[in-house]
Amino acid sequence: MAQCHTPGTVDRPAGAARRVVVLGGSGFVGRHVAAAVRASGAEPLLVSRRPLGDGPDRSFPMDLAGDGPDGLARLLDTERPYAVVNAAGAAWSRVPETMDRGNHLLVETLLSALATAAWRPRLVQLGSIFEYAPPAPGTTLDERAPLRPTTPYGWSKLRGTRAVLAATEAGRADAVVLRLSNAIGAGTPASSLLGRVATQLHAADAGEEAEVHVSPLLASRDFVDVRDVAAAALAAASLPAAGQVVNIGRGEAVPVRAMVERLIAASGRRARIIEGDVAGVRPQSGLDWIQVETGTARRLLGWTPRHSLDSSVRELWHAATGRAAEESYS
């Protein structure tokens, strides 16, 4: 049952089941998208490179970048979901090819699957604010900002976004792109700044002052709770017009130092922050000031962030301590 689309409109497939395919379903954002889908009364179908353990959702091991589009195309035709949320991809890596494989090649394969399948769901592509050129301090970053990434990660995400928008314009896909600011919350990766801080706090002996080693805390960033990101993805799945790009953030620039201090307070630990060069930390991106303009998200998606940053860091800390406890007994 092939669907015919006009760019900028969406013809939701007749009889589309209340199912959502979540690519990267085992990852940080993917797990929260799946939870939001479940809470809405729909059924999440999780796709990830590795088989998932026991859980409430059906899952399908699939390596899109390595195996090609056929498996996903068959899944779409069999399950007939009303949306696919692409929460898969590569985080920052010292190897540019790794980021391009996860953020561009994977997207091209996904688009091939959508073009091959007879069933045409809405695609919600999760991009990044790092696709933009660095904004001037004190300004807000809206969807009209110039696209000039300063990192290989930003370029890999932008190539994926451009592929999605081109496919939508040509009628080969029905997609919306969300460019995310810094998502935080339960499951924040240990490789991120706040994830590394949580690891160091947990590793310190109880009652002793922890030493938290970080790169210089000079930036101000727009942090948004991952639960709010998941809510935005669900809203985008039902947006009438395709081909839209929407920035997702809280709409405030918060000093990174303040976020580290918030996390230390949430942990209840005594800690001393030590700034300097830290091995393995990603280089400066040039985006030292990020404040996202949220008007488009409010207007098109009816979306505003609901969770406070204090709530976000508490969730981050509780999940990090639980993860550390599990690892110590594994």
Question: How far is it, in rounded angstroms, from Cα 160 to Cα 162?
Answer: 5
Residue pointed to by tokens 């081109």: 166
Question: How far is it, in rounded angstroms, from Cα 37 to Cα 51?
Answer: 20
175-180 β-sheet, strand order: 58-61, 43-48, 17-23, 81-86, 122-128, 175-180, 245-248
> Concatenated DSSP letters for 121-171?
-EEEEEEEGGGSPPPPTT--B-TTS----SSHHHHHHHHHHHHHHHHHHTT
- Count Cβ atoms below 10 Å from residue 211 Cβ, excluding itself: 13
Query: What amino acid is encoded at 206 in this protein?
Result: A
Among residues 146, 149, 145, 183, which one has the least CA distance to residue 286?
A: 149
For residue 119, CA distances in Å to 14, 66, 232 come to 10, 23, 24
82 noted as active-site residue: no
Catalytic residues: 153
